[in-house]
Structure 1
Amino acid sequence: MAGDHVTNVGDGDFNQEVLESSKPVLVDFWATWCAPCRAIAPSIDALASQYGDQVKFTKLNIDDNQDTPQQYGIRSIPTLLVFKGGKVVEQIVGAVPKSRIEDAIKKAL
Protein backbone atom coordinates (compact mmCIF):
# COMPACT_ATOMS: atom_id res chain seq x y z
CA MET A 1 0.00 0.00 0.00
CA ALA A 2 3.05 2.28 -0.06
CA GLY A 3 3.36 4.78 -2.88
CA ASP A 4 6.38 5.33 -5.13
CA HIS A 5 8.15 7.55 -2.59
CA VAL A 6 7.16 5.56 0.51
CA THR A 7 9.15 2.58 1.80
CA ASN A 8 7.64 -0.33 3.71
CA VAL A 9 9.61 -1.11 6.86
CA GLY A 10 9.28 -3.81 9.49
CA ASP A 11 10.65 -4.91 12.84
CA GLY A 12 13.71 -6.39 11.13
CA ASP A 13 14.91 -3.28 9.30
CA PHE A 14 13.41 -0.52 11.49
CA ASN A 15 16.72 0.40 13.17
CA GLN A 16 18.60 0.62 9.89
CA GLU A 17 15.87 2.36 7.87
CA VAL A 18 14.55 4.74 10.55
CA LEU A 19 16.79 5.17 13.57
CA GLU A 20 20.06 5.24 11.62
CA SER A 21 18.75 7.45 8.79
CA SER A 22 20.78 10.56 8.05
CA LYS A 23 17.59 12.53 7.32
CA PRO A 24 14.29 12.86 9.21
CA VAL A 25 11.90 9.91 8.83
CA LEU A 26 8.11 9.85 8.97
CA VAL A 27 6.78 6.44 10.02
CA ASP A 28 3.11 5.70 9.31
CA PHE A 29 1.90 2.91 11.64
CA TRP A 30 -1.09 1.41 9.83
CA ALA A 31 -3.07 -1.76 9.01
CA THR A 32 -4.96 -2.90 5.94
CA TRP A 33 -8.30 -2.98 7.81
CA CYS A 34 -7.94 0.61 9.09
CA ALA A 35 -10.20 3.02 7.16
CA PRO A 36 -8.62 6.21 8.63
CA CYS A 37 -5.20 4.82 7.62
CA ARG A 38 -6.42 4.49 4.04
CA ALA A 39 -7.94 7.98 4.25
CA ILE A 40 -4.59 9.68 5.02
CA ALA A 41 -2.53 7.54 2.61
CA PRO A 42 -3.01 9.92 -0.37
CA SER A 43 -1.80 12.86 1.76
CA ILE A 44 1.29 10.93 2.83
CA ASP A 45 2.02 9.90 -0.77
CA ALA A 46 1.65 13.52 -1.93
CA LEU A 47 3.96 14.80 0.82
CA ALA A 48 6.45 12.04 0.04
CA SER A 49 6.54 13.22 -3.57
CA GLN A 50 7.05 16.80 -2.40
CA TYR A 51 9.56 16.26 0.45
CA GLY A 52 11.07 12.91 -0.55
CA ASP A 53 14.54 14.36 -1.11
CA GLN A 54 14.63 15.85 2.40
CA VAL A 55 12.61 13.36 4.45
CA LYS A 56 12.29 9.57 4.27
CA PHE A 57 8.67 8.35 4.28
CA THR A 58 7.94 4.85 5.59
CA LYS A 59 4.96 2.66 6.46
CA LEU A 60 4.93 -0.07 9.10
CA ASN A 61 2.06 -2.59 9.09
CA ILE A 62 1.23 -3.23 12.75
CA ASP A 63 -0.36 -6.61 12.01
CA ASP A 64 2.81 -7.95 10.39
CA ASN A 65 5.22 -6.22 12.79
CA GLN A 66 4.23 -6.08 16.45
CA ASP A 67 7.51 -5.43 18.27
CA THR A 68 8.15 -1.90 17.00
CA PRO A 69 4.63 -0.54 17.63
CA GLN A 70 4.76 -2.02 21.14
CA GLN A 71 8.18 -0.44 21.74
CA TYR A 72 6.82 3.00 20.84
CA GLY A 73 3.50 2.60 22.68
CA ILE A 74 1.31 2.69 19.59
CA ARG A 75 -2.23 2.25 20.93
CA SER A 76 -4.33 3.40 17.98
CA ILE A 77 -3.82 3.85 14.28
CA PRO A 78 -3.07 5.68 12.21
CA THR A 79 -0.17 6.99 14.28
CA LEU A 80 2.55 8.98 12.56
CA LEU A 81 5.92 9.36 14.26
CA VAL A 82 8.57 11.72 12.96
CA PHE A 83 12.11 10.70 13.85
CA LYS A 84 15.19 12.89 13.68
CA GLY A 85 18.57 11.58 14.74
CA GLY A 86 16.95 8.36 15.95
CA LYS A 87 14.57 10.15 18.34
CA VAL A 88 10.83 10.84 18.09
CA VAL A 89 10.36 14.57 17.56
CA GLU A 90 6.67 14.58 16.61
CA GLN A 91 3.65 12.30 17.04
CA ILE A 92 0.28 12.54 15.29
CA VAL A 93 -2.59 10.18 16.14
CA GLY A 94 -5.65 9.76 13.96
CA ALA A 95 -6.70 10.90 10.52
CA VAL A 96 -5.61 14.53 10.32
CA PRO A 97 -5.52 17.07 7.48
CA LYS A 98 -2.54 17.02 5.13
CA SER A 99 -1.50 20.45 6.46
CA ARG A 100 -1.04 19.00 9.99
CA ILE A 101 1.28 16.29 8.64
CA GLU A 102 3.16 18.85 6.58
CA ASP A 103 3.66 21.06 9.66
CA ALA A 104 5.24 18.12 11.49
CA ILE A 105 7.57 17.48 8.54
CA LYS A 106 8.61 21.12 8.33
CA LYS A 107 9.41 21.16 12.06
CA ALA A 108 11.80 18.25 11.60
CA LEU A 109 13.71 19.91 8.75
Structure 2
Amino acid sequence: MPTIAVTDSSWEDDVLKSDKPVLVDFWADWCGPCKMIGPALEEISDELGDKVTIAKMDIMANTDIPGQIGVKSIPLMVLFKNGEAVAQKLGAAPKSALKGWIEGEI
Protein backbone atom coordinates (compact mmCIF):
# COMPACT_ATOMS: atom_id res chain seq x y z
CA MET A 1 0.00 0.00 0.00
CA PRO A 2 1.59 3.32 -1.01
CA THR A 3 1.88 6.21 1.41
CA ILE A 4 -1.00 8.69 1.37
CA ALA A 5 -0.83 12.47 1.28
CA VAL A 6 -2.68 14.09 4.16
CA THR A 7 -3.84 17.70 4.14
CA ASP A 8 -5.28 20.04 6.73
CA SER A 9 -8.73 19.37 5.25
CA SER A 10 -8.37 15.56 5.12
CA TRP A 11 -6.73 15.26 8.57
CA GLU A 12 -9.82 14.29 10.53
CA ASP A 13 -10.93 11.54 8.13
CA ASP A 14 -7.47 10.24 7.17
CA VAL A 15 -5.85 10.28 10.62
CA LEU A 16 -8.20 10.87 13.52
CA LYS A 17 -11.03 8.63 12.29
CA SER A 18 -8.83 5.86 10.84
CA ASP A 19 -9.67 2.33 11.93
CA LYS A 20 -5.98 1.43 12.11
CA PRO A 21 -2.86 3.22 13.37
CA VAL A 22 -1.57 6.06 11.18
CA LEU A 23 2.07 7.17 11.07
CA VAL A 24 2.24 10.77 9.86
CA ASP A 25 5.54 11.98 8.42
CA PHE A 26 5.69 15.78 8.68
CA TRP A 27 8.07 16.92 5.94
CA ALA A 28 8.99 19.68 3.48
CA ASP A 29 10.48 19.63 -0.01
CA TRP A 30 13.54 21.63 1.09
CA CYS A 31 14.38 19.16 3.91
CA GLY A 32 17.28 16.86 2.96
CA PRO A 33 16.71 14.30 5.75
CA CYS A 34 13.00 14.21 4.82
CA LYS A 35 13.93 13.26 1.27
CA MET A 36 16.33 10.60 2.56
CA ILE A 37 13.66 8.72 4.55
CA GLY A 38 10.92 9.05 1.90
CA PRO A 39 11.85 5.88 -0.04
CA ALA A 40 12.19 3.88 3.21
CA LEU A 41 8.72 4.96 4.32
CA GLU A 42 7.31 3.90 0.93
CA GLU A 43 8.87 0.44 1.37
CA ILE A 44 7.65 0.19 4.96
CA SER A 45 4.16 1.18 3.80
CA ASP A 46 4.22 -1.70 1.31
CA GLU A 47 5.47 -4.14 3.96
CA LEU A 48 3.23 -3.07 6.88
CA GLY A 49 0.24 -1.62 5.02
CA ASP A 50 -2.17 -4.12 6.52
CA LYS A 51 -1.22 -3.00 10.06
CA VAL A 52 -0.53 0.73 9.73
CA THR A 53 -1.19 3.57 7.29
CA ILE A 54 1.86 5.65 6.41
CA ALA A 55 0.88 9.23 5.63
CA LYS A 56 2.90 12.28 4.65
CA MET A 57 2.01 15.89 5.39
CA ASP A 58 3.86 18.72 3.65
CA ILE A 59 4.20 21.37 6.35
CA MET A 60 4.67 24.16 3.80
CA ALA A 61 1.37 23.41 2.03
CA ASN A 62 -0.49 22.56 5.23
CA THR A 63 0.19 24.85 8.18
CA ASP A 64 -2.86 24.42 10.42
CA ILE A 65 -2.34 20.87 11.72
CA PRO A 66 1.47 21.10 12.15
CA GLY A 67 0.87 24.32 14.10
CA GLN A 68 -1.75 22.70 16.32
CA ILE A 69 0.47 19.70 17.00
CA GLY A 70 3.52 21.87 17.63
CA VAL A 71 5.81 20.63 14.85
CA LYS A 72 9.06 22.56 15.31
CA SER A 73 11.60 20.33 13.55
CA ILE A 74 11.35 17.91 10.64
CA PRO A 75 11.32 15.15 9.71
CA LEU A 76 8.94 14.35 12.54
CA MET A 77 6.97 11.13 12.53
CA VAL A 78 3.97 10.90 14.84
CA LEU A 79 2.00 7.70 15.34
CA PHE A 80 -1.73 8.07 15.95
CA LYS A 81 -4.01 5.37 17.36
CA ASN A 82 -7.73 5.96 17.79
CA GLY A 83 -7.23 9.65 17.04
CA GLU A 84 -4.53 10.17 19.69
CA ALA A 85 -0.79 10.76 19.26
CA VAL A 86 0.89 7.85 21.03
CA ALA A 87 4.53 8.03 19.87
CA GLN A 88 6.87 10.24 17.90
CA LYS A 89 10.31 10.08 16.33
CA LEU A 90 12.33 13.11 15.29
CA GLY A 91 14.98 12.97 12.58
CA ALA A 92 16.06 10.58 9.87
CA ALA A 93 17.03 6.98 10.56
CA PRO A 94 17.85 3.92 8.47
CA LYS A 95 14.90 1.88 7.19
CA SER A 96 15.55 -0.98 9.61
CA ALA A 97 15.45 1.40 12.58
CA LEU A 98 12.28 3.11 11.34
CA LYS A 99 10.53 -0.19 10.68
CA GLY A 100 11.58 -1.61 14.06
CA TRP A 101 10.31 1.51 15.84
CA ILE A 102 6.97 1.39 13.99
CA GLU A 103 6.50 -2.33 14.64
CA GLY A 104 7.27 -1.79 18.32
CA GLU A 105 4.62 0.93 18.59
CA ILE A 106 1.76 -0.57 16.60
For Structure 1 versus Structure 2, the TM-score category normalised by the shorter chain is: over 0.9
Deviation at 1:101, TM superposition (A): 1.8
User: Residue 38 of structure 1 corresponds to which residue in structure 2?
Assistant: 35
Secondary structure in 2 matching 1:10? coil
Matched, 1:65 2:62: yes
After TM superposition, the score normalised by the length of structure 1 is: 0.91
Q: Which runs of 4+ in 1 moved over 6 A?
A: none
Higher mean alpha-carbon deviation, 20-29 vs 97-106, is at 97-106
**Mean Cα deviation higher: 97-106 or 53-62:** 97-106
Residue identity (%): 42
Change (3 A) 1:88 1:20: same
Could you tell me how far apart the structure 2 residues matched to 1:97 and 1:72 are? Answer: 25
Cα separation, 1, equivalents of 2:97 and 2:67: 25
- The answer as to 2:10 corresponding to 1:13 is yes
Q: What is the Cα-based RMSD across aligned positions, in Å?
A: 1.2
**Residue 27 (structure 1) aligned with residue 24 (structure 2):** yes
Structure 2's unaligned 5+ residue stretches are none
Matched residue count: 106
How many angstroms apart in 1 are the aligned matches of 2:28 and 2:56? 9
TM-score by length of 2: 0.94
Give me the whole-angstrom Cα distance separating, in 2, the residues matched to 1:51 and 1:61.
Answer: 22
